[in-house]
């Protein structure tokens, strides 16, 4: 993809721990330990990393069981690179992976949790905001180890 004269390249399953942590930090997400990041990436079904002139500028990953439910997880584009269509390229690649790997003649749920104010971006890709008349709100619980202090 060309945007502002630069070329965006997507590379599947190349996301390494340092790049993962660096991209998370660029959007001020919670700090992870190297062990957490290593295990998280190792348990991903699929990752994609976006590069501009060889520099990582965005990434996303899929977690789940691959047959009943998958989740788009950690969709990140560096703030200074947003608005160039990188997020669109990443999410389209993630969706395509799920479509290509789902079992034939079945339906799979593809879910995500988005930050407040980002709903319109995901609605462009046919995601629906919850709650609806038939679907309750998404929910979350943080489970911490005694003595753990979040930043």
Mean pLDDT of 72-89: 96
Evaluate whether residue 139 is within a structural domain.
no
Nearest CA-CA partner of 77 in 58, 103, 51: 58
Q: Does residue 101 belong to any structural domain of this protein?
A: yes
Pull the structure tokens for residue 148. 């753990």
Tell me if 14 is assigned to some domain: yes
Query: Would 54 be classed as within a structural domain?
Result: yes
Reading across the β-sheet that carries 55-64, which strands appear in turn? 2-3, 6-12, 46-52, 55-64, 69-77, 109-111
Q: How far apart are CA 35 and CA 44, in angstroms?
A: 14
The pLDDT tens digits of the residues spanning 29-54 come to 999 999 999 999 999 999 999 999 99
Largest CA distance in the chain: 50
| Cα–Cα distance, 146 to 138 (Å, whole number) | 26
For residue 144, tell me if it sits in a domain: no
The answer to whether residue 116 sits within a structural domain is yes
Q: Residue 145: what pLDDT?
A: 78
Domain, as residue range, for 78: 2-123
Buried-state track 134-150, b at ≥16 Cβ within 10 A, e below 16: eeeeeeeeeeeeeeeee
Would 25 be classed as within a structural domain? yes
Domain membership of residue 34 (yes or no) is: yes
CATH assignment of the domain containing 89:
3.40.630.30
- pLDDT value of position 2: 44
Predicted confidence at residue 1, as pLDDT, reads 47
Q: How many folded domains does the chain comprise?
A: 1
């Amino acid at each position: 993809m060309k945007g502002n004269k630069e070329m965006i390249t997507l590379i599947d399953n190349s996301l390494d721990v340092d790049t993962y942590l660096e991209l998370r930090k660029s959007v001020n997400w919670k700090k992870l330990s190297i062990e957490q990041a290593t295990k998280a990436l190792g348990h991903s079904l699929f990752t994609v990393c976006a590069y501009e002139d060889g520099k990582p500028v965005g990434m996303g990953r899929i977690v789940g069981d691959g047959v009943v439910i998958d989740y788009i997880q950690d969709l990140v584009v560096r703030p200074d690179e947003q608005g160039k269509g990188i997020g669109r390229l990443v999410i389209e690649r993630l969706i395509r992976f799920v479509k290509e790997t789902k079992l034939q003649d079945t339906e799979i749920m593809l879910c995500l949790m988005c930050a407040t104010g980002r709903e319109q971006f995901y609605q462009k890709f046919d995601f629906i905001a919850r709650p609806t008349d038939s679907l309750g709100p998404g929910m979350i619980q943080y489970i911490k180890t005694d003595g753990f202090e979040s930043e």
